Amino acid sequence: MIRTSIITISDSVAAGTREDKSGAMLEARARELAWKIFDKRVIADDKLTISDAISTLANSGTIDVILSTGGTGLGPRDVTPEAIGAVADRAIPGFGEVMRAEGRKSTKFAAVSRGGAYTLGATLIVTLPGSPKGAVESLNAIADLIPHVVDLLHGRTEHPEKPSP
């Protein structure tokens, strides 16, 4: 079971002026993948707030994967990659590459997303676009990789032997 947290990063959702569609769609998709949702929250586009939320969840020891949605574009308040990069141990560039490549199949604007993935301790942090469609498509592009990364982060590095032909 993958223990998951979903964080929507949006000034307007945090202010209550817009509905959290991306977070809701990510939650539904995570449940379809049989992941357990342990935490769901909405925060404003603020570097310190984002960094603090990510650090707190990752260091709690109860979350395997943090899915964040929002703040990965190029707007003046889009600071999610910088905020998470400031507290993360490592970046996983391949995740962003896969998400953008898959996204380009449905929208040319996928190329300007700064979504990606990081680790902090034994927690995987995935930064997804703020649009509901983009968030779920990006998650789907990497969903099959996440259990393997969680295993690696928890020290489960053995690979089962393949049967001989």
What would the two tokens of residue 153 be? 């982060």
> How confident is the model at residue 103, as a pLDDT?
95
Place of tokens 């962003």: 96
Instruction: Quote the CA–CA distance of 139 and 128 in Å, as a whole number.
Output: 7
Residue of 116, 137, 142 lying closest to 127 (CA atoms)? 116
Q: Where are the domains of the chain?
A: 3-153
Residue of 74, 46, 71 lying closest to 127 (CA atoms)? 71
To the nearest whole number, what is the mean pLDDT of the chain?
A: 95
| Four-way CATH pick for 3-153: 3.30.420.40, 1.20.1440.230, 3.40.980.10, 3.40.50.970 | 3.40.980.10
Which band of pLDDT confidence, cut at 50, 70 and 90, is reported for residue 160? low
| Sign of torsion over alpha carbons 139, 143, 148, 151 | positive
> How confident is the model at residue 16, as a pLDDT?
96
Q: Exposure pattern of 56-82 as b/e (b: 16+ CB <10 Å)?
A: ebbeeeebbbbbbbbbbbeeeebbbbe
Which band of pLDDT confidence, cut at 50, 70 and 90, is reported for residue 73? very high
Higher-confidence residue of 163 and 65: namely 65
Sheet with 36-43, strands from edge to edge, namely 36-43, 3-9, 65-69, 123-128, 116-120, 90-91
Would the pLDDT of 23 be above 80? yes
> pTM of this prediction?
0.94
Q: What is the pLDDT of residues 93-138, one digit of tens each?
A: 999 999 999 999 999 999 999 999 999 999 999 999 999 999 999 9
Would the pLDDT of 158 be above 90? no
> How confident is the model at residue 159, as a pLDDT?
72
> How confident is the model at residue 164, as a pLDDT?
64
